[in-house]
Copies of this chain bind each other. A is one copy, B any other.
Amino acid sequence: MNKGRVEAFSDGVFAFAITLLVVTIAQPNDYQHLAAELGRRWPALAAYVVSFSTIGIMWLNHHSIFGHFAGVDRRLVYLNLLLLMTLAFLPYPTEVLGQALARGDARTAAVVYGATMTANAAAWTALWLYASTRRRLLQPAFPESERRTATLLFNAGSLAYAAAIGVAFVDAYAFLAVQGALAVYYAFDPLSRRVQRRMEEREVAASGAATAPEASGRD
């Protein structure tokens, strides 16, 4: 199992899924009253923006997590496929939600979107638990103190996405806003920042010299 090829394959699925999202916005039916037709499509555009951000930020975090792995084995690849399966499915609920917000049962659509994201969060948690339990696939440099925190954060993430389904039952617009907020939360990736800080502190302690912040470093 070569880690690089697993990452490249995952990158391909991420890049394709994110680009495929554009087909989720329905083409106009009436080209004579185009402005009105397009105006009614703003929920589909909002769903596009939220799903695009979600996949983009998830790609970035996939990157960070795999950077902490010393290698991959078959089981991890299968858990990664599960993660990609739920991710590659996202264009479907995105289209359903965008349409339903404009002209249908938006709450059901939001529940389906929320269920997809919850399945995805569960796949992330499973991937992390498998790789981190007894430090199975972790880099030696990954700080032990952060392992527990990371496990907690992954479990909390799954719960947050499950809780968002509750919001879906109340209001689909509020649900979409919550999904956007969760994406923004993960954009700040508290886990990577903490780990990075710890690893730098350790280096400093070990070498007795401050490492200069570099443009190419993780910030």
Contacts and interface: CB of A to CB of B under 8 A. Distances in A.
Contacts of A1: 63, 216-219
B96 A28 contact: yes
Given A63-B5, A70-B216, A219-B75, A104 B15 contact: no
A8 B12 CA distance: 9
Interface residues of A, number: 74
Interface stretch (A32-40, A156-164, A174-182, A203-211): A32-40
A69 to B, nearest CB: 8
Interface string A13-31: 1111111111101011011
12 contacts: A1-B63, A1-B218, A9-B11, A19-B88, A21-B88, A27-B99, A34-B108, A35-B108, A38-B96, A48-B89, A71-B216, A73-B216
Contacts of A23: 20, 23, 91
